[in-house]
């Protein structure tokens, strides 16, 4: 597919995909996803009292 070609031709995307493709990387992916999600959600907050 087009997405496969993009990941295959871009060295940074390919490295990320290979990191999470390992059989024992499921927990690492989940942890990284949660960390990124929290970062995005906190960046969207407008706490004026800080």
What predicted TM-score, i.e. pTM, was given to this entire model? 0.63
Residue 46 clears pLDDT 90, i.e. is over it: no
8: pLDDT confidence band, cut at 50, 70 and 90? confident
* Structure tokens belonging to residue 50: 């800080």
Task: Give the dihedral of Cα atoms 12, 15, 16, 17; nearest 10 deg.
Answer: 120
49: pLDDT confidence band, cut at 50, 70 and 90? low
Mean pLDDT across the chain:
86
Q: 17-37 pLDDT, tens per residue?
A: 889 988 889 999 999 999 999
């Amino acid at each position: 597919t087009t997405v496969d070609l993009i990941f295959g031709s871009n060295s940074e995307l390919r490295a990320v995909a290979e990191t999470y493709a390992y059989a024992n990387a499921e927990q690492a992916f989940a942890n990284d996803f949660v960390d990124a999600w929290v970062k995005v959600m906190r960046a969207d907050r407008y706490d004026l009292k800080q």
